[in-house]
Chain A
Amino acid sequence: MAAVNEERLQATEQLQHDLARTAETVEHPNGLCMVTASAKGEIKALHLHPALLQQGAQAVGEVVTETVRLATNAAVQTSFNKMALALGDGMAIDVESIAGDSPFRSTWNPVVPPKSAADEAVQERRPRSPIVEDPDEDAFFENPFGRR
């Protein structure tokens, strides 16, 4: 029993160390902002696409706020996953019963916000696929002189 406790203590210590360093990077669905955040909501890295600034000050504020929230949720979820790996699913479920649901459980799909604050990035122009001519030769046989 003492050995089990010792093992568990070590796992907990390692876990605390891991969780303190856990950070996740998330790109806003519009592709114009990328944030790395810790589970405590600290912004570790922030990248803004020049096109986002062209959408105005309000859009910048809203998109960054939203992206930081998504990245924090992702980091919290990663923390839950690491904890479940280190201490077992049972322990993770116990923690959820104390601390509240993990983001994965409490949001149906954390990557898709209900309403986007800014427009989507302009899609790249792709060459149009060539129009296939009707390979059906029936018309030729109906009127062999009409074709040429």
Chain B
Amino acid sequence: MDDDVERAARKVRDVEQAVSEHVARSGPITGRASSPDGAVTVIATPGGPPQQIAVSPAALRMGPQGLAAEIMRIAEKAQRNASSRLHQTLERVVDPRELTELGFARGQDDDEFGWRR
């Protein structure tokens, strides 16, 4: 059992090393999404909580429930973009099937196009 754990730890360390060298070159991997009218903008990390949620003064007029729903919608989209980006960045270092299995699917990254659905 201990050998297995050590082997797993070594493998994780190796992948981590390769990944961090890769990320050091490409910069931190995040995903971004905005509402069509710019009311809510979210910068998400893959597999973690959002790094930043920004709300425009005009968005306050949506009311608590409307704004909450919009934040959830945009946050999900931003995280999808972040996951897709992680997949694209790492598929050369890590087996893409494993990335997809971990929940980082390669999808249509609509980051550059703003809010296109």
Contacts and interface: CB of A to CB of B under 8 A. Distances in A.
Interface in B49-83: 49-57, 59-60, 63-65, 67-69, 71-72, 75-76, 79
B48 interface: yes
A85 interface: no
A64 B49 contact: no
B60 A60 contact: yes
Nearest to A94: B5
Interface stretch (A38-46, A104-112, A132-140): A38-46
A49 B64 CA distance: 7
B45 interface: yes
Interface residues of B, number: 31
Nearest to A97: B9
A50 B65 CA distance: 9
Interface string B17-37: 000000000000000000000
A12 interface: no
Q: Is the interface of A mostly helix, strand, loop or mixed?
A: helix
Contacts, number: 77
Contact of A42 (B52, B63, B69, B79): B79
Nearest to A65: B53
Q: Is the interface on chain A under 10, 10 to 19, 20 to 34, or 35 or more residues? A: 20 to 34
Nearest to A71: B49
Nearest to A68: B49
Nearest to B82: A41
A85 to B, nearest CB: 18
Contacts of A48: 64-65, 67-68
11 contacts: A40-B47, A41-B45, A41-B48, A45-B72, A46-B71, A47-B64, A47-B68, A53-B63, A57-B56, A61-B53, A97-B9
Interface of B: 5, 8-9, 12, 44-45, 47-57, 59-60, 63-65, 67-69, 71-72, 75-76, 79, 103
